Chains A and B, each alone.
Chain A
Amino acid sequence: MSGPAASTATSTETSTATPRKRRSIGWLLLLPGALWLAAFFVTPLVQLVATSLYDPNGSVEAGYAMTWSWGNYTEALDFYSEPFIRGFVYAGIATVLCLLIGYPLAYAIVFKAGRWKNLMLVLVIAPFFTSFLVRTLAWKLILADNGFVVSTFKTLGLVDDDGRLLATGFAVVAGLTYNFLPFMVLPLYASLERLDHRLIEAAGDLYASPAQGFRKVTLPLSMPGVVAGTLLTFIPSAGDFINSQLLGDTNQTMIGNSIQTLFEAGSYPAASALSVTLMALIIVMVAIYIRRAGTEELL
């Protein structure tokens, strides 16, 4: 991504006659959007942090007093450590599953689809024009107790005779994996598509087996796609509450459900403390992950 940016940078600089004027135009173009983000993204986050420190005894109607109640955090984490961990574990499993099944799909589209490439790409995105919730309800039907998936699993002995798939961790993880799969496939497709195919041929010419060629050439070169895909899958899954609500029951509560329930009950300080913790954890994890993977230019 940095390559084309650098080249446009030099050509813009050579073509600008009046840099001062140019600079102010840049600011003017940026300003409306920047103000919008400042007002409705940055300010709300600040307000969220403030709310997380309000006196928990207040209410929406009566208003809250700022009491720097750090206790909100310890209390929220005490009560909700379980859905917190569960949310991250489910999101982690779903992300790994997405990578395992998304990589072959992206690989097949780029290297095997030939003239069907565009069609396959459209097919990946097509189901997602149907509402997220309608599709999740369809999964509920597929995994239903009297459905054919459950009866097949029973015949195979994977599920007990009175067992079920709905309201289990399996159903929630399956829903997450399904719903966020395209967010994995599209970045993988983009990075595999950009890859110079001659490099793989060169590996073959130098007596690498296809497996070696894949491991030493294709996979390392597709790492930016892997990193982008895992982030785009993990972040929304970690905060999701729809799959857990529709496909699971109270034993599969994720942190998103807890935040949602607390807000609906009007416990704003506790809910805000949980949200801030979730956001902070995700930012830290993303920063470490990007540094480890060595793909800072991704941003």
Chain B
Amino acid sequence: MVRLGRWVSDHVVAGVGLLVLIYLFVPMFVVIAMSFNDPASRAAYTLDGFTVRNWTNPCEPEGLCSSLVTSLQVGILATVGATVLGTLMAFALVRHRFRGRGTANVVIFLPMASPEVVLGASLLALFVSTAGGGVLGFGTILIAHIMFCLSFVVVTVRARLQGMDTSLEQAAMDLYATESQAFWKVTFPLVFPGILSAALLAFALSFDDFIVTNFNSGQTVTFPMYVWGVAQRDIPMQINVIGTAMFLVAVLLVVVSEVLRVRRERVR
């Protein structure tokens, strides 16, 4: 009985895990297949013939590439803004004692615990009541994105800082490094991986956001909003090209960083 139980836990769990992983990839396969699809009619979203035309003319559908550019601009600016503000906050929360830390922690946690509909709706209520509907656009999207990315940056950098050994900095100070030298030569390089993964997370969140953006975009169209728009009418296959390309870029980034990490460890 015990032996049977052990066999079950050894093999079945691994098998189920693998099945779940495949399940996660099923839509991905469809997206890749559809990027080579030659649809019989524009109205039907079905798999018909094979073509590379979607890949050679990614910008053919009107508005697709300009929406992509808007998303990249918002994503980059929001990432920079949220990463700078969030990193400063994480340092304050881990390295400094002051009154109101508990409150600050709760206020940072709350945006992550709020449904996106509420975040978007409340910002819309604020913008419209203070400045009227005319202000909605690139600026309001950016404000919203920095807001909801901020908490995720704080949490990610804070985790890195909390797990860090402060004795290295103290050693630097003991060896007559000034406070700023100790920070830039010891602390910052150690925290940097945390800041980098926080920035990547912020970019991914911003780039993919639809719900909050939809409330505060006015006439500005981001890539997810473009997809939402065409989803109600006829869907150009090129959105699958963009989807596949983004997937490939992300996988490439991860592979490169993993290779670099392994190489660095070998050098040590």
- Could you list some 7 contacts between A and B, CB below 8 A? A4-B163, A15-B173, A22-B97, A30-B98, A134-B239, A182-B24, A275-B122
Asked if A153 is at the interface of the complex by the 8 Å CB criterion, the answer is no
Asked if B267 is at the interface of the complex by the 8 Å CB criterion, the answer is no
A193 to chain B, nearest CB (A): 13
- Which residues from chain A contact B228 at a C-beta distance below 8 Å? 133, 242
A135 closest partner in B (C-beta): B27
Partner of A127, one of B18, B108, B247: B247
Are B117 and A259 touching (Cβ within 8 A)? Answer: yes
Asked if B123 is at the interface of the complex by the 8 Å CB criterion, the answer is yes
Q: Compute how far the CA of A37 lies from the CA of B235 in the bound complex, rounded to whole angstroms.
A: 37
- Which residues from chain B contact A50 at a C-beta distance below 8 Å? 125, 129
Are B86 and A33 touching (Cβ within 8 A)? Answer: yes
Contact A41/B107 with A127-B247, A133-B231 known, Cβ cut-off 8 Å:
yes
Asked if B47 is at the interface of the complex by the 8 Å CB criterion, the answer is yes
Asked if B94 is at the interface of the complex by the 8 Å CB criterion, the answer is yes
Q: Compute how far the CA of A21 lies from the CA of B115 in the bound complex, rounded to whole angstroms.
A: 39
* Interface size classification for chain B: 35 or more
A134 closest partner in B (C-beta): B243
- Which residues from chain A contact B210 at a C-beta distance below 8 Å? 132-133, 242
Asked if B9 is at the interface of the complex by the 8 Å CB criterion, the answer is yes
Partner of B89, one of A33, A134, A272: A33
Specify which of B9, B24, B161 lies most central, judged by the most chain A CB atoms within 10 Å of its CB: B24
Asked if A161 is at the interface of the complex by the 8 Å CB criterion, the answer is no
A276 to chain B, nearest CB (A): 8
Q: Compute how far the CA of A4 lies from the CA of B247 in the bound complex, rounded to whole angstroms.
A: 35
Are A236 and B111 touching (Cβ within 8 A)? Answer: no
Partner of A239, one of B5, B118, B240, B247: B118
- Which residues from chain B contact A102 at a C-beta distance below 8 Å? 20
